[in-house]
């Protein structure tokens, strides 16, 4: 093992045991928290660091309840990793801040009737106290809050950069509206037609909204997920992003109709010979043109009924599909057949082209629709073993094994080959083209709320939407009393006249400010860029600092942000990179999603009354014991079950180590380092190093517990072993480790020392070959651990097939054992 050279030679500070030698976490923790602050232990030199390591954790939104145990679990896991990297010799920058704008904070403020501008600073005070108490290695010089004008000035600046680059635009759009939260929701915030926050069914409204063109980046956002040189992320997270981006390959096909063309997108161009009718959204612009006089009344009535329905319930599947025939026909470009055109409310203008080709033989919804309205069904993909004219009881869509039938010259092809061949054929005849589509939509960043950064736009009668000049940023959010949203869909800021009316930046004419604020996810999409540069007021992020510290080395957070925050952050980084502001386009080199904590096997909730309040446990047990327990109760990336009875184990363990350090300091070397202890020690170093690197903290801690038991058994308090034990505990129990390190005679912080190394030669368990005799005759050899006892060796010998054959079921009358060399079994 390499001895740390960063630490001075130890000089014991205590020669005799003190009267009260017991471990008192409260004293130890208060002492080291004060010392870390005094000595700036957690403040790396950001301009001269040699081995920068940016360790990021998802910043919390400062709720009134304070940090919950789930936050503590996540932060402790991330903090343990940062401390481990520091012990490995990195200059670790570990900042923290507050995601303090947004609807969570605002709704709570409304609930308690206090302005969020007053409420949030109080919450932040409490959060800061808790984060210090848990012993996080935070560089408090770089704390930030998204609500600080010195921060959101640059959030607004980012909006302006996107606007300049043509990546921000405004349009009237049907948007998701939560009637309870009284705000627009992004598609990502609508779960099964309900508001993600309050579970209220979401309505549709048409509002003028600001959007970011994230869809332009869909292909890149997808491709990077497979690029390990840029991204080493949890599989669960990349899978969620892949699904969210929703790439599908297909074809856009034109069906000539009424002197125009109906364009459809399909992922199954191979089934075009089976397209026997078309369905348009009732709002489709070609409906009037296609409708024949005799169908006009029926069509008009259906459209009226559809318009009265909210779009959300139209999207929800599994209900009767209704529709009405327009009287018009379109020509199937593959068959040349004229097929009827229907309208139905399950087809939406917002999705795809607002029109579909219906293939009832191979799509269940089309099959049901065709059955109901007696439309023709043609099978064009046959099951491998079924005749082409098998009865049609349901749609059949086997992509793997089917082959094309009733498809002209494409008959007999497989589905995949058929897709390609038919797409090429459509392209040659000008009837269509192969296209790639994504499920992702542009990011709506407008919020008709109060608690966010105002979008920096001024509306002039002559000049339209004029960006606020960059030198006039920030557009400060005014403190207003009537901050509650109402049903008009207009932001509360519009009620604040002095703020609302401003001169146009171009002509000076009286104009109006944009009253929407931006989405909280824009605040958090770039906070990691700001941390290293918080002291600069004239730039969002300093180029030299950014080059030295970014992209982020390791980011740990919850998977609930897999498709919102993490996707938006990647998008903003790509845009800023393309505009020349950043040298990288993927912001987080490594991302790991942490697991979730339950209590006594059940989800924690206020109504169940089983919420773990961290402060109470820390007051009783100390932060280090609490941290140890959180990291020990289950795999960090899976989570675990918090049980009150479990916490005493880690505490007893720390007490044992505390006592061992005492023995070591007193120089009580009653034990000696046996071969066995030495091997165990080196194996433990290897296991703990590898487990902590892999965030497998629970098994690392278990290995340390085993080592301590072994050392106590052997009465081994050898300094180099005890010191390495303290170092390996430091990521989990940092105050405890500091105190032990000082007791062991070190003047500098344990985090200035180096993580122990193992010797590969000593890791191998020492084994010997023992000769096995039966009745004095050598019959075999067995491999056993050196110094194994007689019973173990005899048992190993009886496992040997040759020996067992000779011994049979006969009793062993006598055993002769020469340790590490020979065992003789006498039978008969
Ligand atoms: Zn809601
Ligand atoms: Zn103007």
User: What string of DSSP letters covers 142-176?
Assistant: G-EETTSHHHHHHHHHHHHHHHHTT-EEEEEEEEE
Question: CB under 8 Å, gap of 24 or more: what pairs does 22-28 form?
Answer: 22/655, 22/658, 23/654, 23/655, 23/658, 23/736, 25/621, 25/622, 25/623, 25/624, 25/625, 25/735, 25/736, 26/622, 28/622, 28/624, 28/735, 28/736, 28/738, 28/739
Instruction: Decide if 671 contacts 714 (C-beta within 8 A).
Output: yes
CA distance 626 to 76: 10
Q: What are phi and psi of 31, to 5 degrees?
A: -60, -45
| Ligand in closest contact with the CA of 103 | 1
Residues 6+ apart with CB under 8 A from 277: 339, 340, 341, 342, 358, 360, 370, 375, 376
Minimal CA–CA distance to 355: which of 267, 424, 286?
Answer: 286
CA distance 827 to 810: 6
Report the 3 state secondary structure along 64-77.
Answer: CCCCCHHHHHHHHH
| Ligand in closest contact with the CA of 185 | 1
Minimal CA–CA distance to 264: which of 381, 405, 363?
Answer: 363
How far does Cα 766 stand from its chain's mean position? 43
CA distance 797 to 800: 5
pLDDT for 386 equals 65
d(CA 511, ligand 2 centre) in Å:
7
d(CA 461, ligand 2 centre) in Å:
6
Instruction: Decide if 555 contacts 590 (C-beta within 8 A).
Output: yes
d(CA 493, ligand 2 centre) in Å:
21
Taking residue 599's Cβ as centre, other Cβ atoms within 10 Å add up to: 18
Burial group, residue 717, by CB count within 10 angstroms (0-12, 13-18, 19+) = buried
d(CA 449, ligand 1 centre) in Å:
13
d(CA 200, ligand 1 centre) in Å:
6
d(CA 102, ligand 1 centre) in Å:
13
Place of tokens 């000082």: 742
d(CA 458, ligand 2 centre) in Å:
9
Taking residue 605's Cβ as centre, other Cβ atoms within 10 Å add up to: 10
pLDDT digits (tens, 9 = 90+) for 54-97: 999 999 999 888 899 999 999 999 999 999 999 999 999 999 99
d(CA 179, ligand 1 centre) in Å:
7
CA distance 296 to 292: 6
| Ligand in closest contact with the CA of 512 | 2
d(CA 103, ligand 1 centre) in Å:
9
pLDDT for 581 equals 98
d(CA 176, ligand 1 centre) in Å:
10
Taking residue 429's Cβ as centre, other Cβ atoms within 10 Å add up to: 10
CA distance 420 to 407: 14
| Ligand in closest contact with the CA of 465 | 2
| Ligand in closest contact with the CA of 183 | 1
Instruction: Decide if 99 contacts 527 (C-beta within 8 A).
Output: yes
d(CA 571, ligand 1 centre) in Å:
26
Provide the token pair at 422.
């038919």
pLDDT for 517 equals 95
d(CA 311, ligand 1 centre) in Å:
17
d(CA 520, ligand 1 centre) in Å:
15
Instruction: Decide if 119 contacts 108 (C-beta within 8 A).
Output: yes
d(CA 202, ligand 1 centre) in Å:
8
d(CA 32, ligand 1 centre) in Å:
44
Minimal CA–CA distance to 567: which of 435, 695, 441?
Answer: 441
How far does Cα 643 stand from its chain's mean position? 26
**Which CA distances in Å does 689 have to 40, 80, 89, 525?**
27, 12, 14, 33
d(CA 166, ligand 2 centre) in Å:
21
CA distance 738 to 32: 7
Whole-prediction pTM value? 0.82
Minimal CA–CA distance to 678: which of 638, 648, 718?
Answer: 718
Burial group, residue 333, by CB count within 10 angstroms (0-12, 13-18, 19+) = buried
Place of tokens 């704390």: 143
CA distance 724 to 758: 10
Burial group, residue 166, by CB count within 10 angstroms (0-12, 13-18, 19+) = exposed
Report the 3 state secondary structure along 228-275.
Answer: CCCCEECHHHHHHHHHHHCCEEEEEEEEEECCEEEEEEECCHHHHHHC
CA distance 647 to 624: 11
CA distance 203 to 312: 7
| Ligand in closest contact with the CA of 197 | 1
Instruction: Decide if 237 contacts 299 (C-beta within 8 A).
Output: no
d(CA 471, ligand 2 centre) in Å:
18
Taking residue 711's Cβ as centre, other Cβ atoms within 10 Å add up to: 25
CA atoms within 13 A on the CB side of 607: 1
d(CA 480, ligand 2 centre) in Å:
27
d(CA 504, ligand 2 centre) in Å:
5
DSSP H or E run through 556: strand 552-558
Q: What are phi and psi of 531, to 5 degrees?
A: -45, -55
d(CA 513, ligand 2 centre) in Å:
12
Question: Does 551 sit behind a cis peptide bond, omega within 30 degrees of 0 on the bond before it?
Answer: yes
Provide the token pair at 331.
């020509």
Q: What are phi and psi of 382, to 5 degrees?
A: -95, 145
Place of tokens 């604040």: 496
Place of tokens 């409204």: 205
Place of tokens 């920030």: 474
pLDDT for 787 equals 78
d(CA 181, ligand 1 centre) in Å:
4
Residues in the chain with pLDDT values less than 50: 1-19, 318
d(CA 497, ligand 2 centre) in Å:
19
**Which CA distances in Å does 108 have to 62, 112, 119, 655?**
11, 6, 9, 42
DSSP H or E run through 768: strand 767-774
d(CA 163, ligand 2 centre) in Å:
18
């Amino acid at each position: 093992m390499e001895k740390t050279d960063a630490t001075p030679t130890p000089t014991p500070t205590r020669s005799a045991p003190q009267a009260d030698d017991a471990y008192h976490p409260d004293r130890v923790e208060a002492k080291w928290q004060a010392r870390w602050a005094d000595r700036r232990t957690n403040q790396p030199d950001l301009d001269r660091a040699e081995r920068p390591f940016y360790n990021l954790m998802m910043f919390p939104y400062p709720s009134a309840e304070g940090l919950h145990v789930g936050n503590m679990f996540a932060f402790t896991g991330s903090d343990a990793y940062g401390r481990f990297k520091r012990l490995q010799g990195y200059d670790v920058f570990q900042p923290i801040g507050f995601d303090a704008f947004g609807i969570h904070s605002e709704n709570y403020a409304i609930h308690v009737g206090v302005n969020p501008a007053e409420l949030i600073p109080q919450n932040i005070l409490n959060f800061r106290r808790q984060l210090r108490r848990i012993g996080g290695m935070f560089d408090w010089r770089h704390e930030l809050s998204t609500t600080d004008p010195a921060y959101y000035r640059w959030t607004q600046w980012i909006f302006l950069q996107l606007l300049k680059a043509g990546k921000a635009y405004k349009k009237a759009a049907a948007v998701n509206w939560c009637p309870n939260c009284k705000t627009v929701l992004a598609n990502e915030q609508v779960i099964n037609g309900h508001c993600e926050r309050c579970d209220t069914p979401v309505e549709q409204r048409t509002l003028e909204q600001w959007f970011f063109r994230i869809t332009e980046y869909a292909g890149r956002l997808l491709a990077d997920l497979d690029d390990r040189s840029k991204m080493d992320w949890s599989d669960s997270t990349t899978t969620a992003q892949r699904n969210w981006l929703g790439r599908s390959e297909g074809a856009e096909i034109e069906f000539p109709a009424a002197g125009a063309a109906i364009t459809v997108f399909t992922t199954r161009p191979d089934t075009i010979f089976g397209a026997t009718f078309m369905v348009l959204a009732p709002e489709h612009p070609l409906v009037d043109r296609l409708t024949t006089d005799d169908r006009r009344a029926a069509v008009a009535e259906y459209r009226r009924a559809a318009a009265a329905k909210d779009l959300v319930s139209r999207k929800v599947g599994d209900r009767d599909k209704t529709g009405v025939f327009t009287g018009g026909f379109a020509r199937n470009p593959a068959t040349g057949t004229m097929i009827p055109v229907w309208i139905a409310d399950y087809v939406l203008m917002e999705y795809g082209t607002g029109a579909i080709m219906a293939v009832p033989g191979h799509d269940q919804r089309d099959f049901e629709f065709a059955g109901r309205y007696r439309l023709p069904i043609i099978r064009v993909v046959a099951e491998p073993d079924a005749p082409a004219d098998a009865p049609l009881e349901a749609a059949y869509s086997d992509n793997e094994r089917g082959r094309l039938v009733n498809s002209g010259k494409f008959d007999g092809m497989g589905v995949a080959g058929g897709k390609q061949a038919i797409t090429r054929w459509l392209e040659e005849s000008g009837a269509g083209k192969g296209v790639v589509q994504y499920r992702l939509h542009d990011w709506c960043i407008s919020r008709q709320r109060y608690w966010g950064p105002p979008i920096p736009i001024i509306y002039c009668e002559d000049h339209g939407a004029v960006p606020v000049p960059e030198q006039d940023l920030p557009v400060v959010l005014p403190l207003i009393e009537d901050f509650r949203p109402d049903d008009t869909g207009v932001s509360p800021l519009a009620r604040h006249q002095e703020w609302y009316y401003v001169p146009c930046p171009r002509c000076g004419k009286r104009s109006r400010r944009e009253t929407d604020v931006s989405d909280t996810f824009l605040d958090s999409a770039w906070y990691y860029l700001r941390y290293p540069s918080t002291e600069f007021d004239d730039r969002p992020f300093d180029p030299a600092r950014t080059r030295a510290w970014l992209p982020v080395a390791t980011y740990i957070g919850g998977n609930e942000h897999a498709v919102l925050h993490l996707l938006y952050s990647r998008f903003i980084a790509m845009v800023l990179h393309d505009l020349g502001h950043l040298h990288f386009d993927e912001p987080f080199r490594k991302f790991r999603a942490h697991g979730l904590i339950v209590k006594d096997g059940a989800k924690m909730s206020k109504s169940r009354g089983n919420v773990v309040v961290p402060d109470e446990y820390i007051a009783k047990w100390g932060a280090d014991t609490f941290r140890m327990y959180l990291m020990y109760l289950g795999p960090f990336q899976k989570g675990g079950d918090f049980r009150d009875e479990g916490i005493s184990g880690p505490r007893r363990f720390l007490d044992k180590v505390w006592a061992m350090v005492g023995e070591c300091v007193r120089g009580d070397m009653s034990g000696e380092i046996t071969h066995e202890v030495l091997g165990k020690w080196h194996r433990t170093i290897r296991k703990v190093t590898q487990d902590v690197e892999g965030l497998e903290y629970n098994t690392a801690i278990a290995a340390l517990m085993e080592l301590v038991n072994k050392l106590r058994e052997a009465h081994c308090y050898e300094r180099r072993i005890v010191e390495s034990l303290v170092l390996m505990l430091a990521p989990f129990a940092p105050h405890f480790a500091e105190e032990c390190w000082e007791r062991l005679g070190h003047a500098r912080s344990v985090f200035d020392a180096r993580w122990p190394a193992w010797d590969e030669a000593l890791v191998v368990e020492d084994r010997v070959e023992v000769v096995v005799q039966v009745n004095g005759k050598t019959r075999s050899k067995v491999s056993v651990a050196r110094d194994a006892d007689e019973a173990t060796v005899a048992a190993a010998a009886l496992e040997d097939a040759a020996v067992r054959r000779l011994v049979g079921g006969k009793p062993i009358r006598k055993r002769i054992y020469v340790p590490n060399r020979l065992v003789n079994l006498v039978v008969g």
